Amino acid sequence: MIRDDIKAALIEAMKAKDSARVNAIRLIQAALKNRDIEARTGGAPADDDVMVMEVLGKMAKQRRESIDMFEKGNRPELAAAEGAELAVIESFLPRQMSEAEAQAAVVALVKEAGATSVKDMGAVMALVKARLQGQIDMSKASGLVKAALA
């Protein structure tokens, strides 16, 4: 499980006295704890690894946006700090698909869903989210699905 990997990485970073990595992992654990608390009030909890990947994906997206804003604002030291956190977060996520792999996977899911027009995009996106969560950026996936259905 991804949670176990995160806990092991925290212990390893603490032993190595890598304070930047320890801080980033603690941020991840705090976000996961918040998500656990939210899940208690909601419906039945989903698969734990899927939930962890969603949280990590959201955190990675936030870091990428922050890096972009810091670079535009001429704050390279803050962009570097966010980049370091992003590297730690991404180390727990599955490998991202290349553009060609993503296109091939989307085309296969379009065929599997029997989609023929843009009206069927919701069904295809549901399949994409269920099978490729964490391996592909959902905004990119949306564009690929639209292109495949056009």
pLDDT tens, residue by residue, 34-92: 998 888 876 555 567 778 888 998 999 899 999 999 999 999 999 999 999 999 999 99
Q: Between vectors from CA 46 to CA 44 and to CA 51, what angle results, nearest 5°?
A: 135
Nearest to 89 by CA among 1, 4, 6: 6
Which one is predicted more confidently, 77 or 148? 77
Letter for the amino acid at 73?
Answer: G
The distance of Cα 33 from the centroid of its chain, to the nearest Å, equals 17
Q: What pLDDT band is residue 121 in, cutting at 50, 70 and 90?
A: confident
Nearest to 124 by CA among 96, 147, 95: 147
